[in-house]
Amino acid sequence: MRGYLAKRLLQAAPTILGSILLVYGIARALPGDPITVMFGELEPPPEVREELEKHLGLDQPFIIQYFIYLRRIISGDWGKSIFTAEPVLEFTLRRFQATFELTILSIAIASAVGLAVGFASAMRRDTPTDKVLRLASTAGFSMPVFWWGLLLILLFSVQLGLLPPMGRGGFQHLVLPALTLATFISGMIARLTRASMLEVLTQDHVTTARAKGLSETVVWTKHVLRNALIPIATFVGLQFGTLLGGAAITETVFAYPGVGKMVVDAIFTRDYPVIVGGLLFVVIVILITNLIVDMIYAFIDPRVRYERAGSYA
């Protein structure tokens, strides 16, 4: 396990370096720059622009800027926002905390609902119940997030006055954005659960379990569901990582101050340190999440462990 971990961490280094280069390159390739955004229609005189470019390090050739930035990152200096002078790492961590809270609740709701719907759908395969549940799960991941979020606001905030429509505060501020995200993900989990369970049903060990006289409940819960959970766990883990990268549309609809919106706003204002720092943080988080998912996968699937050991039971 330690060797595996070390190998994965070593593999992460070129991924991170490549990501910085890619993101930095794309950000700088965008038309316009932060000075344009700062001044808007009041374009500064050339000498003022030159001074600002020098001050922001934008006068250097791109590759020199990249290496200066890389050196700073390695030394722990992630730079400051061009517009608010707030340290990028501090800003990102604050926004990440909000995103993390939203992700935890979204995944929890999505997993609970998705697994239950998928399980019920598989158990009642080809019945009207199955058809309804499959339709509901398809609708879940087909609905545009933006539209669904606004509908939830209209119902729960405007009509019923039960939940706040926006912002960040206590638990109640998390509910609507989490429901919005969870609807999309639970639809996919439900479909995956159903498919995975139906595949496991056809396997020999299930036939053997039934032949041994075990009850249907034990067959379904102990033999079918447990094995079907393997790909589902992987999927949920990957979704967890994706959500930790921010859900910009949902965050915009609910004015929720997460990482996604932070990066999108930085792109519109060409706040290069925040763009690169924010995306770099997301890359690191996703790499770590994928690593944890792989380790969990190895833990729950004995075949993966035994393959690594070079033997089979």
Partner 1 sequence: MAKMLRRPKVLVPLIIVAIVIVGFAAYYVTQLAVAPPLEELVISQKADLTTIDMQAATDAPTLNVFGHVYDTLFKIKFDEKGAPYFSPNLVESYKQINSTAWQFTLKSGVKFHDGTPLDSTAVKVSFERGPKVGALPRTLLGAVKAIGVVDKQTVVIGLKAPFAPLIAHLTHPSTAIVPPKIADIATKDFAVAHIIGSGPFKFLEFVKGERTVLVRNEEYWGEKATVKRIVWKPIADDSTRVTAIETGTVDIATHIPSHMVKTLKDKKFTIVDIPSVRTIFMLINTEKITDAKVRQAFNLAVDKDAIVSKILLGAGSVSTAPIAPAIFGYSKISAYEYSPDKAKALLAEAKFPADKEIVLITPTGRYLQDREVAEAVASYLRAIGLKVKTEVLEWAAYIPRASRSEFDIAVLGWGTVTMDADYGLHPLFHSTAGTVNWGKYKNTKVDGLLDQAKEEADTAKRLSIYKEAQSIIMSDCPWIFLYVENIIVAMKPGLKNVEIQPIERWVLTYAAKS
Q: Can you give the binding site for partner 1, defined by CB under 8 A?
A: 30-33, 36-44, 48, 55, 80-86, 91, 94-95, 150, 153-154, 157-158, 161, 164-168, 252-255, 257, 261-262, 265, 268-270
In angstroms, give the least distance from the CB of 32 to partner 1. Answer: 4
Find the Cα–Cα–Cα–Cα dihedral 171, 173, 174, 179, rounded to 10°: 120
In this complex, which beta carbon is closest to partner 1, that of residue 192 or of residue 282?
282
Q: Cα 15 to the chain's mean position, in Å?
A: 18
Burial status of residue 224 (CB atoms within 10 A of its CB: 0-12, 13-18, 19 or more): buried
H or E segment to which residue 17 belongs? helix 2-29
CB 34, min distance to partner 1, A: 8
- Residue closer to partner 1 by CB (options 9, 30) is 30
Nearer to partner 1, 37 or 116 (CB): 37
Nearer to partner 1, 189 or 275 (CB): 275
Shortest distance (Å) from residue 244 CB to partner 1: 18
- Nearer to partner 1 (CB atom), residue 101 or residue 137: 101
CB of 20 to partner 1, least distance (A): 22
Write down the least CB distance from residue 65 to partner 1, Å: 17
Question: Among the residues of 127-271, which ranges form H helices?
Answer: 128-142, 145-152, 172-201, 204-211, 216-218, 226-244, 248-253, 259-269
Taking every pair of Cα atoms in the chain, the longest distance, rounded to a whole number of angstroms, is: 87
